[in-house]
Chains A and B, each alone.
Chain A
Amino acid sequence: MIDGLWGWGLRGIEAEGKLLNVAERYTEDSDREAELIRLLKLYDERAFREVVENYKDRVYNLCLGFLKNEADAEDIAQEVFVEIYNSISSFHEDSALSTWIYRIGVNKSLELLRKTKRKKRFGWITSIFGIEDQVGVKHADFVHPGVALENKERSQILMAHIDKLPDKQKVAFNLHKLEGLSYQEVSQVMELSVSSVESLLFRAKKNLQKSLGIYYKNI
């Protein structure tokens, strides 16, 4: 079945008279990306594998920032790559491949968060019938695995407060802080101007200062 799945792309490439060695054919980064996208559109397995290997940790890290649950983050990361495979033909190369991938990751994560919220809202009904759904369960004590030991407790508090931010501020904050994207890159992923991103991050910081202040006053 897998052979059948990939066979279409491979046949297409073989039809051009050359069996591809993806890595050998790249010369520069932009050419490399253009070639990678072209091969992806032909459903070439090696190209797809290269994309998965290159972006899996970035996508997972981003999803983990939103979902705060390793299993959900991995599940959504898998969904992101399935979506990439299925909708690569609709990618018009008006942005970088990484930007497009981050955008899918953000959308999928927010989708799951909204689904979880909806389920919580109707949770009392399902609890009457004894139906328990564990999808999108967040751990209040979640600690990001990449945080230095001395910052674990503080980052745990910060992550809990980031959760309370409005969606756009949350997205900008996660992309900038967790993924280390520049304002320019965040603006491309969110399809906003750089000044809008600056404003979102400024407001996110202000909101966090406010809610953390209240948190400490109530301790």
Chain B
Amino acid sequence: MQRNDLDNEVEKILHSLDGVERARLSPFFYTKVKTRLQTRVEKVDRVAWTWALTAMVVLLVLNVLVMIKEDLRSNDDYGTDDIEFLTEEYSVNTFNIYEEEQLEEDE
């Protein structure tokens, strides 16, 4: 292709979109948009409900776990041993008023 012919052809191509008419959509487009919006809202609702239910189940499980743990703790009997051990270890004065009276009597 000659230089001039090439330039002409390129110019023609560059102007080939001049006066292009707008592409048109079907008249049912609005119905499709409406359906898509509706589907989106239902989907969001479903997701929200799923999250709410999951949160409730998690809370319930946590509550049950805490209750079981508390129950186990109240059943064990080494709690008092621990206190005595600590008292002896740190020589904490644990006299109470009755023991004081007993001491006075002994003296």
A interface vs B, CB < 8 Å?
Answer: 1-2, 5, 49, 52-53, 56-58, 60-61, 64, 73-74, 77-79, 81-82, 85, 144-148, 151, 154-155, 157-158, 177-179, 205, 208-209, 212-213, 216-217, 219
Tell me the nearest residue of chain A to B3, going by C-beta.
Answer: A213
With A148-B19, A154-B12, A212-B10 given, can you name 12 additional A-B contacts, CB distance below 8 Å?
A49-B30, A56-B25, A57-B22, A60-B29, A61-B23, A82-B36, A144-B20, A146-B20, A147-B21, A158-B14, A213-B10, A219-B1
**Interchain CB contact under 8 A, B32 and A154:** no
User: In the complex, are the beta carbons of B13 and A85 less than 8 A apart?
Assistant: no
Cβ of B96 within 8 Å of any chain A Cβ, yes or no, is no
Complex Cα gap A154–B14 (Å): 8
Complex Cα spacing A147 to B22, Å: 9
Asked if B41 lies at the interface with its beta carbon under 8 angstroms from chain A, I say yes
Contacting residues of chain B (1-31) with chain A, CB-CB under 8 angstroms: 1, 6, 9-10, 12-14, 16-25, 29-30
Residues in chain B near residue A155, CB distance under 8 A? 13, 16-17, 20
Tell me, in angstroms, the Cα distance from A217 to B13 when the chains sit together.
Answer: 15
CA distance A60 to B12 in the complex (A): 26
- Report B-chain residues with C-beta under 8 Å of the C-beta of A148: 19-20
Interface SS of B by simple majority: helix
Interface contact A147-B9, CB-CB below 8 Å? no
Q: Which residue of B lies closest to A45 (CB)?
A: B34
B11 to chain A, nearest CB (A): 8
Q: What would 18 A/B residue contacts be, using CB atoms closer than 8 Å? A: A5-B37, A57-B22, A60-B25, A61-B23, A73-B23, A74-B25, A74-B29, A77-B29, A78-B33, A144-B17, A146-B23, A147-B21, A158-B14, A158-B16, A158-B17, A209-B14, A216-B9, A219-B1
B40 in the interface (beta carbon within 8 A): yes
Residues of chain A lying within 8 A (CB to CB) of residue B34: 2
* Interface, chain B (partner A; CB < 8 A): 1, 6, 9-10, 12-14, 16-25, 29-30, 32-34, 36-38, 40-42
Whether A146 touches B21, Cβ cut-off 8 Å, given contacts A208-B14, A216-B1, A216-B9, is yes
| Contact A58–B22 (Cβ < 8 Å) | yes
Chain B residues within an 8 Å CB radius of A2: 34, 38
On whether the beta carbons of A177 and B22 are closer than 8 Å, the reply is no
- What's the minimum C-beta distance from A90 to chain B, rounded to whole angstroms? 17
CB pair B23 A57 closer than 8 Å: yes
Q: How far is the CA of A147 from the CA of B13 in the complex (A)?
A: 12
Q: Check if B17 sits within 8 Å of A209, measured CB to CB.
A: no
| Contact status of A64 and B23, CB under 8 A, knowing A82-B36, A157-B13 | yes
Smallest CB–CB gap between A162 and chain B, Å? 9
Which partner residue on chain B sits nearest A73 by CB separation? Answer: B23
